[in-house]
Amino acid sequence: MTSRSTRERPSGFRNPWLQLVLSVACVLVSELLLKRGASDIAHLGSSWSWTGINGLTSPLVWLAIVFVIASFITWLYVLKYIPLSIAFPLSRVVDALVPLCSWIFLGETISSRRWMGIALVVIGLAVIAKPVARMEERL
Amino acid sequence: MTWWSFSLILTSLITFVAGQLLLKKGMELTTHSSRNARRFGSFIVGGIVAMTISFFLTLGLLQRFDLSYLYPFQGLSVVLIAIAAAATLREKITPKLAIGSLLISAGIVLVSLS
């Protein structure tokens, strides 16, 4: 079933759904690295600190930048195959994952209101992902 | 909140959404013929320019407002992108997609208000 509208989708590593997962994972890792890196070198008194440019002295920030670039490239690849109105909402899983990982890896606390927000994001993702998964199976 | 800061927040949102649409449009061209190299380039460059404007507007806003105040507006981007993709890219918005997008938006607003 490969008409022009339902384009042939590569499988294996080039599967666009796998690339979407990779893109989200890269965003997540970059956010955590940026926070770690920024905290490591924080000198709030210095006159340049408000620009964030002094963050470039941290190796973790540079590693984070590599992940940001990787997430952008994989995101472009995702856009080639998956409708924006599906890919973009799914990519917002990071809004649930970043607070969760900040809790697990950075020891930050999560308020009850934030837990509710995480739950809503997950429910919304499930509502979108379920029909998409069924549609993909049929193809 | 003044009208000025409100319009800045709005502009940063609109440029972000426009950037995503332009990138999507550019990447769609790559699946058809290879003759569209110049159009592809202008869409991708346009997308990157729009995202860059949005990035620096947000950076400026962050210096004046708390992240927890600004981030809920980012939550709206999910709904805005679904509407804009339906309008300009003729993507189909099913009821489930609409409900899911609204739930995610609401969730992002709750996560950022703490």
Percent of chain A exceeding pLDDT 90 equals 39
Residue A113, pLDDT above cutoff 50: yes
CB B67 within 8 A of CB B112: yes
Instruction: Name the minimum distance, in Å, from the CA of B104 to any CA of chain A.
Output: 4
Percent of chain B exceeding pLDDT 70 equals 94
Q: At what angle do helices B95-112 and A94-105 cross, to 10 degrees?
A: 40
CA distance A75 to A21: 10
CA distance A130 to B96: 9
CA distance B64 to B14: 20
Band of the pLDDT at A120, cuts 50, 70, 90?
very high
CB A120 within 8 A of CB B72: no
Give me the total of CB pairs closer than 8 Å, taking one residue from chain A and one from chain B. 121
The residue among B59, A35, B105, A36 whose CA lies nearest residue B113 is: B105
Taking CB atoms and an 8 Å limit, are B24 and A84 in contact across chains? yes
CA distance B69 to B87: 29
Taking CB atoms and an 8 Å limit, are B104 and A76 in contact across chains? no
CA distance B108 to A73: 25
Instruction: Name the minimum distance, in Å, from the CA of B114 to any CA of chain A.
Output: 6
pTM above 0.90, yes or no: no
Residues of B in contact with A75 (CB under 8 A): 23
Taking CB atoms and an 8 Å limit, are B85 and A85 in contact across chains? yes
CB B58 within 8 A of CB B75: no
Task: Write down the ipTM of this complex.
Answer: 0.84
Pull the structure tokens for residue A37: 């890196």
Looking up tokens 């952008």 gives: A72
Residues of A in contact with B85 (CB under 8 A): 83-85, 88
The residue among A122, A6, A138 whose CA lies nearest residue B108 is: A122
CB atoms within 10 A of CB A69: 12
Pull the structure tokens for residue A73: 């490239």
- Between the CA of residue A95 and those of B64, B75, B92, what are the distances in Å? 23, 9, 24
What residue ranges of chain B have pLDDT lower than 50?
Answer: none
Instruction: Name the minimum distance, in Å, from the CA of B40 to any CA of chain A.
Output: 12
Best residue of B48, B68, B83, B103 to probe chain A, by most A CBs closer than 10 Å: B103
Among the partner residues A75, A85, A92, nearest to B93 by beta-carbon distance: A85
CB B110 within 8 A of CB A112: no
Which class for B86: exposed (0-12), middle (13-18), buried (19 or more C-beta within 10 A)? Answer: middle
Band of the pLDDT at A95, cuts 50, 70, 90?
confident
Q: What is the model's pLDDT at position A46?
A: 63
Instruction: Name the minimum distance, in Å, from the CA of A58 to any CA of chain B.
Output: 20
pLDDT in tens, A2-47: 334 445 678 888 899 999 999 999 999 998 888 888 777 766 666 6
